[in-house]
Amino acid sequence: MAPPLLNLAGVYLSFGGTPLLDGADFAVGPGDRIALVGRNGSGKSTLLKIAAGLAEAQDGEIFRQPTATIRYLPQAPDMEGFATVRGYVEAGLGPADDPYRATYLLEHLGLTGEENPAELSGGEARRAALARVMAPEPDILLLDEPTNHLDLNVIEWLEEELIRSSSALVVISHDRRFLERVSRATIWLDRGQTRRLDRGFAHFEEWRDKILEEEEREQHKLGRQIVREEHWLRYGVTARRKRNVRRLGELQALRQRHRSHRGAEGTATMVASDAAESGRLVIEAKSIAKSFGDLNVVSDFSTRIQRGDRIGLVGPNGAGKTTLLKMLTGELAPDSGTVRLGVNLEIATLDQKREAADPNETLAHYLTDGRGESLIVNGEQRHVASYMKDFLFRPEQARTPVHKLSGGERARLLLARVLSRPANLLVLDEPTNDLDMETLELLQELVAGFAGTVILVSHDRDFLDRTVTSVIVPDGEGRWIEYAGGYSDMLAQRGASKLEDRKQRSRTVADEEKSAGKQPEPGKAISRKLSFKQKFALENLPKKIEAATEAINRLEDKIADPNFYERDPAGFQKTIAALDKERTDLAAFEEEWLELEMLREELEA
């Protein structure tokens, strides 16, 4: 095995009270693809900064290969002192690095390089920072929330770029689909300590739940053992004094172990405050349009949203999602067309900007609007400290100013405020930003089970697939199209639609040429046939798919042996790695075969 490029062992860091990091370990080897996961506030960003050499631990050993290059992507990049984005990006290159790489990344990330860093939006700043850390093609890339503020096209491009990259990767992200695609190992930071799973993020949640269940059983056993020992000391047959003293010492050690155990972090409790039921028709838009100067944002769009619908708005940054959302909810008047809102609507809105009216306002004051120490939630009076605990805030944080909160804590606070308001229409603009996985799961369940209507804007593909009943996406020049189902359903429908359009264009061209008495040009005739290589692949891919399927079945049967790991841990890990490779190969074979089969059908048509 190759020596690690980066190794952290026994890292300890405390700011007083419970340690933030308490013996955290992780190692990064050449080509590793690691997802670093954990609750908001668990210390993930701090651990990444320590790995990058930007923060100091109070204890522990840190080894960085002297020849290894490491680049770190912060959540808030500092571009002060640079006149242009290109200057900022090229400042990250070393003497031997290719300057063309910076140009390539800027182009693919939608930047010219001549922008003024001080005038960049959040998404543009994130793209510039990505170009800076990726341009040198370092040995290790440490990425802290790389997908924040990025639209879906850029996220999907970034996935492919990282998969092709030779750099080792450690990434923190709330985007499940992104983590599933780019990771091959998972490190879980929990209660100050780390655990490693040598499989990608797709397998993390099942593994985590098993660990927590086992931990709960162990604590239950320990509690029962303490009860038995206490019973023996009080009522057992008197033995030699020396034995009693020894056993009493063991009991005290058990009690200390039980007291010192840090239980799993609590889970947020999210329940939307119900308002009276709205009318069946919630929103009806007819031929609405909106332009800003020469920019046509929405053109002749119509839709009917009924009670119980969950609508997702998807599209690149700047496409007009927020503008369309404001028109649908009556906040912004269309230039033409009409919007009719249903009766008895109570709207609760989560703003994308995540800003409270006053950053110096305390949490309690913000949640209650300054009306004392309590608020009404679902018709019941709740003390603000009690309600805050539902969203994982400690009672002593009630007097904390809003600006002191982390990004994840601010996201939870905003959700707490929105969900305390009676509503039958939830309007959520980028609700998943900065949420940890557990809170994201609860929000997902809330949205999917909400009795009223939901309209949300999101770049989180997995969240959309799990929650919405239809998706509205831009189609260029202000046109918007609604598709039934989630994000994946939309992609499938758009793919089928585009294939049918290509077939129709081919038929039209062929009919025109036939009616004009034209013969196809020799060059065109060749281009309208599968190449020898494509034909060979189309014939042989089914055999590869079958072989990969059989290999997967054999490996899964082997792993199913309950004694396999105990008998041969190294062999078990090799089998897991082989299974992951076969699954990856199978997905690639199936995708290639599908593309070739669609091409063959198109050419024959």
Binding residues, as ranges, are 38-45, 315-322
Cα atoms in the 13 Å half-sphere on the side-chain side of 297: 20
Q: What is the SS3 string spanning 125-188?
A: HHHHHHHHHHCCCCCEEEEECCCCCCCHHHHHHHHHHHHHCCCEEEEECCCHHHHHHHCCEEEE
Give the residue numbers of the binding site for ATP. Answer: 38-45, 315-322
Distance CA 300, CA 282 (A): 20
Q: What is the SS3 string spanning 500-522?
A: HHHHHHHHHHHHHHHHCCCCCCH
Task: Note whether 85 and 129 are within 8 A (CB).
Answer: no
Instruction: Give, in degrees to the nearest 5, the angle at Cα 169 between 20 and 436.
Output: 45
Q: Helix (H, G, I), strand (E, B), or coil: what is residue 307? A: coil
How far does CA 377 lie from the centroid of its chain?
Answer: 30
Residue recorded with tokens 């007009």: 320
Kindly list the strands in the beta sheet with 185-190, ordered across the sheet, starting from the edge strand earlier in the chain.
70-73, 140-144, 168-172, 33-37, 185-190, 193-197
Percentages (nearest 5) of helix, strand, coil residues in the chain: 45, 20, 35
Distance CA 152, CA 313 (A): 12
Q: At residue 251, what is the residue type?
A: L
Distance CA 59, CA 14 (A): 10
User: Going by C-beta distance under 8 Å and a sequence separation of 6 or more, which residues neighbour residue 43?
Assistant: 13, 20, 21, 24, 189, 192
Residue recorded with tokens 């041969």: 568
